[in-house]
A and B are shown apart, each in its own frame.
Chain A
Amino acid sequence: MYLFEITNFFGRFHPLLVHLPIGFLIISIILSAYNKVNNFSYTRVLRVIWFLSFISAFFSALMGWLLSQNGYYIEEQLYLHKLTGLILVFLSGLGWIFQFLNIPKFLKKFNNALILVFLIVVGHLGGNLTHGESYLFEYAPEPIKTVLISKIKQKKFEELPLDSIGVYKDLIYPIFSSKCIACHNNNIARGGLNMSSAISLFKGGRSGPSIVANDLKKSLAFNRVTRSQDNNQFMPPTGTPLTYDEIKLLEWWINQGASIKTSLIDIKPDSKIQSLLFKNYSIDLRKKPWYEIVKLPAIDESELNELDKHGFSCKKLSSENSLLDIRFNGSEIQEKDLLTLEKYAPYITWLNLGECRLKDSHIKFISKMKNLTRLSLQKNNLKTDALKPLLNLDHLEILNLHSTKVNKEIFELIENSKSLKKVFLWNTLVTSKEINNQNQKYEGIEIVGNSE
């Protein structure tokens, strides 16, 4: 595999190097032909070479200009290539003229140095135009690649705040620019459509606007990319079609009102789009759970052995998260156990006290664990009233009360809680009918009762 990458890396320099022998060989042949006639001096040889360089640069620029008229190239890249190309032609003309003039040597040297720089720049830009930006270094060994490509490649979204990721600017436009703009730009606007700016994109082409907010059918740009590939209206007619995910993204953007200013913070993508963004751009939109947000100094693990003695098993959430996941393993919990637990109250975020004869009076200990996010109290003889202190917990999201003695008054507690997302009430005094009614009432809280 590695061998393959290395050979490929060097292989990709072929189009770059192949121009050298072409030039050198032609020059050698011309010069040897002249040499027979007349024994040239070194200066004259140089003049001939400079002349040939200038003339060939001039004509290749001319041909390049003609080629650019077909509109297959991306406008921005083309512009730089054109500009630097023209400068190079000019400089090589100068170089030729300098051969006949008596000017200070350093000027000549300076000109030569400039030519070298421009040669590399123009050549590279041209190569990028025909082969794509990452062509040359795609197979470069990792260190070279990180230096060269990371700058060229798309933005690293994971480090950006969400409000600075523009839906059009950073997600939609790059799709158009890589797959459409070659044929729909300022110079060549096939079908009258220029996609290089948002204004002209909305204006559309011959057949009307290509993007119509909230209307996929009327949005020609969407319509054309979703036809069957055999259809002669299918876009792009040549080259790589849009991927499934790109089409979904475009669809979503149009349905969301096709605004060119909104950032990801303004419109909340649904779960499908969220996972698409996560997969393709590493943009993670899901809200971080509370236990990932609070940061507490690590506890000394040997201290936790104390909990072990009281029948708790206890784990840090992860090596990087010092919050605790605790479960009571005994069959009957005592006040002294809970008093020990209380010492670690702010650290406890997941707590399982299921099936341990927890008493109503014990709840007050739990209500001090302000970072609690999941609480399991199933299979205890708990009554609804006793659970009131739990309202102190501002971050409690999941509350498991199955097989307890709670009744429908629990809904009051659920309504008053600001944080609850899921409550388990299977096998309690709450009937499945009551749960169904309630589930319709509030959004964002799921109440799980009998499986039917």
Chain B
Amino acid sequence: MNCNNHKHNYKFSRRDFLTKTSLGLGALTVGSLISPSNLYSQNNFVNNRLPHFTPKAKRVIYLLQSGAPSQLDLFDYKPLLNKLNGTELPDSVRGGQRLTGMSSGQSSFPLAGSIFKFKKFGKSGTWMSELMPYTSQIVDDLCFIKSMYTDAINHDPAVTFLQTGSELPGRPSIGSWISYGLGSDNKNLPEFVVLVTKDKFGQPLYSRLWGNGFLPSKHQGVQFRSGKNPVLYLDNPPGVTADLRKEQLEYLKKLEKINHKDVGDPEILSRMSQYEMAFRMQSSVPEVMDVSKEPDYIYDLYGKESRNPGTFAANCLLARKLIEKDVKFVQLYHQGWDQHGDLPNAIKVQCKDTDQPTAGLIKDLKQRGLLEDTLVIWGGEFGRGSYSQGTLTETNYGRDHHPKCFTIFMAGAGIQKGITIGSTDDFGYNIKERPVHVHDFQATLMHLLGIDHERLTFKHQGRRYRLTDVHGSVVKEILS
């Protein structure tokens, strides 16, 4: 790492030093810049100016549904599509909207109504399709946004955009920004943990989606896997005892302190703290990953798949355990929602995997009082279109990508319960009311955590970056 002498890796560069000292007032701050007590402090306050205001949420669970679930078959009830089933999508509705290469060659765009039945649920009277019987039971705890939209029309740019605020890879993920901004509440576990459903196929997920980008590397998401080694390369090699490892780290720390004094590379400190974190994780990770003590009725709440490690249900259960231990940001990924063809059958499988665990998780958080300060988010990277991709039959159809509107839901800290905001037109194609852009969603997420999205910045390659770039405004009306 030490040979990686890029300017931005230094706590302060020669140029910074000169400008700071020559600027009079700067001469004062330089004192604090080089004060060793500051450099080595294990202070919880990563940044004294954060949180900017009192947070409503202290932790986040983000259930990312990769591949883009069809809002038209799950939440956004459009009886007109059933009435006009098979007729052409009017040009006036499409309004010249670009299509993906997968359906742009189609000679006809027949409207496809959902074959699933919709009903109103709860005191809030929220429409839900029969695909989500469990989630339907808790709609009064949820807040739906039916008017989300995004810029990208293909998966990779769209999911990158959702996670990092930019379609181009390389920016920090939301969880990394939060970790950088707010620091840790539990020194034995990482701030940002990632759980990916095992054995799923579909749109690829790369570790850069939970990467730290240009932020210090200790802010990257740490993936916990199912099975014997939840965190790769964490365990001591055979023959090395915990005491031995501890002693080794003590010596290493001494050496690295000297090293840091000489070169001043902050990445040295980052690394040391990661070594120490890894050491503590050797005992803390097996402890949280151990679900054997969970009673049967908890497994029943999340569904029987929750006994099978690595499934979405098991990951939901783990997410709760991590949240109980004050991990700040837990990100789940579940692939397989990309239903271009054979949607009716494929979506049933997806819902079977996710519906009960999602509802179970929210109920479990609620009864433990955790929903008071935990925010749960469920949603994909864009929506699906109202015309059929491929041939439309009585019982089968497919849906192509649709960035112009989609639905997500949230629950928990700081969010109003049992409300729906935004709506789409009768074709489910355009937003009618209260558009919410991905950047608005990100701004709102940060707001709930006590962060002003315009003020959490990081200077990199000469300019300040932020999650929402130069956009985004908080969706005030969903705040409780």
Q: Decide: B372 and A374 in contact? CB cutoff 8 A.
A: yes
| Chain A residues within an 8 Å CB radius of B51 | 317-319
The yes or no answer to B433 lying at the interface (CB within 8 A) is yes
Q: Say whether, besides A314-B44, A450-B367, A276 and B477 are in contact (CB < 8 Å).
A: yes
Q: Say whether, besides A275-B477, A279-B476, A422-B372, A319 and B364 are in contact (CB < 8 Å).
A: no
The yes or no answer to B50 lying at the interface (CB within 8 A) is yes
On chain B, the number of residues with a Cβ less than 8 Å from chain A's Cβ atoms is 34
Q: How far is the CA of A317 from the CA of B373 in the complex (A)?
A: 13
Q: How far is the CA of A292 from the CA of B55 in the complex (A)?
A: 11
The yes or no answer to A320 lying at the interface (CB within 8 A) is yes
| Chain B residues within an 8 Å CB radius of A378 | 368-369
Q: Which residue in A276, A305, A318 is a CB contact (below 8 Å) of B52? A: A318
Q: Say whether, besides A319-B51, A320-B53, A398 and B186 are in contact (CB < 8 Å).
A: no
Say how far A209's CB is from chain B's closest CB, in angstroms: 32
| Chain A residues within an 8 Å CB radius of B367 | 402, 424, 426-427, 448-451
The yes or no answer to B201 lying at the interface (CB within 8 A) is no
Produce 1/0 per residue, A313-324, CB < 8 A to B.
Answer: 111111111000
Across the two chains, which residue of chain A brings its CB closest to B475? A279
Interface residues in A357-386 (C-beta closer than 8 Å to B) = 374, 376, 378
Across the two chains, which residue of chain A brings its CB closest to B360? A451
Q: Decide: B54 and A402 in contact? CB cutoff 8 A.
A: no
The yes or no answer to A329 lying at the interface (CB within 8 A) is yes
Say how far B287's CB is from chain A's closest CB, in angstroms: 11
Main secondary structure of the interface of B (DSSP, over half): loop
Produce 1/0 per residue, B179-205, CB < 8 A to A.
Answer: 000000111100000000000000000
Q: How far is the CA of A276 from the CA of B367 in the complex (A)?
A: 30
Across the two chains, which residue of chain B brings its CB closest to A275? B477
| Chain A residues within an 8 Å CB radius of B476 | 275, 278-279
| Chain B residues within an 8 Å CB radius of A376 | 369
Q: How far is the CA of A314 from the CA of B42 in the complex (A)?
A: 12
Q: Decide: A291 and B54 in contact? CB cutoff 8 A.
A: yes
Q: Decide: A451 and B363 in contact? CB cutoff 8 A.
A: yes
Say how far A287's CB is from chain B's closest CB, in angstroms: 12
Across the two chains, which residue of chain A brings its CB closest to B450? A318
Q: How far is the CA of A276 from the CA of B195 in the complex (A)?
A: 38
Q: How far is the CA of A271 from the CA of B415 in the complex (A)?
A: 12
Most chain-A Cβ atoms within 10 A of its Cβ — which of B44, B364, B368, B433?
Answer: B368
Say how far A438's CB is from chain B's closest CB, in angstroms: 16
Q: How far is the CA of A451 from the CA of B188 in the complex (A)?
A: 31
The yes or no answer to A335 lying at the interface (CB within 8 A) is no
The yes or no answer to A210 lying at the interface (CB within 8 A) is no
Q: How far is the CA of A284 from the CA of B463 in the complex (A)?
A: 36
Most chain-A Cβ atoms within 10 A of its Cβ — which of B55, B185, B326, B416?
Answer: B185
Across the two chains, which residue of chain A brings its CB closest to B297? A450
The yes or no answer to B48 lying at the interface (CB within 8 A) is yes
Q: How far is the CA of A279 from the CA of B422 in the complex (A)?
A: 14
| Chain B residues within an 8 Å CB radius of A374 | 372
Say how far B449's CB is from chain A's closest CB, in angstroms: 11
Produce 1/0 per residue, A252-275, CB < 8 A to B.
Answer: 000000000000000000010001
Interface residues in A335-357 (C-beta closer than 8 Å to B) = none
Q: Decide: A451 and B54 in contact? CB cutoff 8 A.
A: no
Q: How far is the CA of A231 from the CA of B476 in the complex (A)?
A: 34
Q: How far is the CA of A398 from the CA of B53 in the complex (A)?
A: 20
Of the A-B pairs whose beta carbons lie under 8 Å apart in the complex, a sample of 24, sorted by A's number, is A244-B433, A275-B416, A275-B479, A279-B476, A279-B477, A286-B480, A301-B48, A308-B42, A313-B44, A315-B45, A316-B45, A318-B54, A319-B48, A319-B50, A319-B51, A321-B54, A329-B188, A402-B368, A426-B368, A448-B366, A448-B367, A448-B369, A451-B364, A451-B366
Which B residues are within 8 Å of any A CB, using their own CB? 42-45, 48-55, 58, 185-188, 301, 326, 363-364, 366-369, 372, 416, 433, 450, 476-480
Known contacts A318-B50, A376-B369, then 7 further A-B pairs from the complex at CB < 8 Å, ordered by chain A residue:
A275-B477, A278-B476, A313-B185, A321-B54, A374-B372, A378-B369, A424-B368
